Amino acid sequence: MTRSDRPTIVDVARAAGVSKGTVSFALNGRPGVAEETRQRILDAARDLGWTPSHQARALSVKRALAVGLVLAREPELLGADPFFPAFIAGVERTLSDRGQALVLQVVPEAEEEAGYRRLAADGRVDGVFLLDLRVADPRIALLEELGLPAVSIARPDVPSGFPAVLVDDRPGIAAAVRHLVELGHRRIAHVAGPSQFLHAQVRREAFTQALADAGLPPGHIVEADFSAAGGARATRELLAHQPTAIVYANDLMAIAGLSVASELGVVVPGQLSITGFDNTALAAYVSPPLTTVRTDPYLWGRAAADALLASIEGGTVDDVPVPPAQLVVRASTAPALPAV
């Protein structure tokens, strides 16, 4: 190798004292290489300054070495919702370790199907992530038709041959309602997400079931869009019914609810208790700090990427369990005032 030459895996193999094939297996994270040998190869690659040629790798394995994520959301809402950056960070962490890339498309909902079809037709990705599952989601059948491997975040409510990261929001919502009931609240309302999204529907159903389990009548429910503006509008509507507590389907709407309550002179938590969902970074720093439900979208991203890459490799991939959502009690909830 001359000084001007870029080091190749042949140079790495020579330096590590192994075959070129062994180097390829080790650098691509494939099984069958002893850990001591793998580390020796990685050390040799680092010492030589070797970096992978994405184009060469893609040609050698006849794959795109990229996976796709199509999001049919308004760009402004994506920027405001902390879930997506955390999930994508988890995906990227795993992909970068494996020399893979993420192709992200943000499209209007009307162009979502076309986005998947373009990715498949152009051979730009080897598989895709399915986020924001819909009720009776048509994308399951679409991806099966296109022959694209996929991993969904949560199990769809329609038959699916794709593995899923087993996210379940029910325990978190149920814990929030139980917490409020234990504090003496009986007039508990809910600001829900859009009903076409499966996770919004699951949270809404969990709220209704938790009230029933506590022997309480159905609470008022207002549907919003997961945005701060939507949460504010829904809060104004609900306060006309004088609830003593509101369970929000995400932190962004709950934080907007705190602001509306303050504007209207409703004291939180003295007159109104509020809970969120997601435990975003801001939740602990608003006033009062927000009682919410902790999830881990970064972990979900890593788990989804591992499962998708294994599926692309042709292995049998089972659903992936993840820790359940947990209630984090802070200062936005307190005992209900005695009925007058």
Per-residue pLDDT tens digits for 113-164: 999 999 999 888 999 999 999 999 999 999 999 999 999 999 999 999 999 9
Asked whether the beta carbons of 274 and 254 are under 8 A apart, the reply is: yes
**Per-residue pLDDT at 62 exceeds 60:** no
Which of 181, 175, 218 is closest to 335 using CA atoms? 181
Bridging pattern class, strands 326-328 and 292-294: antiparallel
Asked whether the beta carbons of 262 and 304 are under 8 A apart, the reply is: no
Q: Which residue has the higher pLDDT, 102 or 76?
A: 102
Token couple for 222: 């207002």
Which of 248, 69, 39 is closest to 153 using CA atoms? 69
Cα 99 from Cα 176, distance rounded (Å): 41
Q: Which residue has the higher pLDDT, 109 or 163?
A: 163
Rg (CA), the chain: 24
Token couple for 183: 């504090």
Q: Which residue has the higher pLDDT, 24 or 251?
A: 251
Q: Which amino acid does the sequence have at 302?
A: R
Delineate the domains of the chain, giving CATH numbers in brackets. Answer: 9-52 (1.10.260.40), 66-168+297-324 (3.40.50.2300), 170-294 (3.40.50.2300)
Helix, strand or coil, per DSSP, at residue 106:
strand
Which of 70, 82, 328 is closest to 228 using CA atoms? 82
pLDDT recorded at residue 4: 46
Cα distances from 71 to residues 48, 132, 238, in angstroms, run 40, 8, 30
Model pTM score? 0.81
pLDDT tens-place string over residues 212-267: 999 999 999 999 999 999 999 999 999 999 999 999 999 999 999 999 999 999 99
Q: Which amino acid does the sequence have at 87?
A: F
Residue corresponding to tokens 């705190």: 258
Asked whether the beta carbons of 155 and 319 are under 8 A apart, the reply is: yes
pLDDT tens-place string over residues 300-335: 999 999 999 999 998 889 999 999 999 999 999 999
pLDDT band at 187 (very low <50, low <70, confident <90, very high): very high
Cα 4 from Cα 2, distance rounded (Å): 5
**Per-residue pLDDT at 194 exceeds 90:** yes
Q: Can you tell me the mean pLDDT for 186-200? A: 97
pLDDT recorded at residue 5: 65
pLDDT recorded at residue 291: 98
**Per-residue pLDDT at 279 exceeds 50:** yes
Helix, strand or coil, per DSSP, at residue 153:
strand
Q: Which residue has the higher pLDDT, 272 or 27?
A: 272
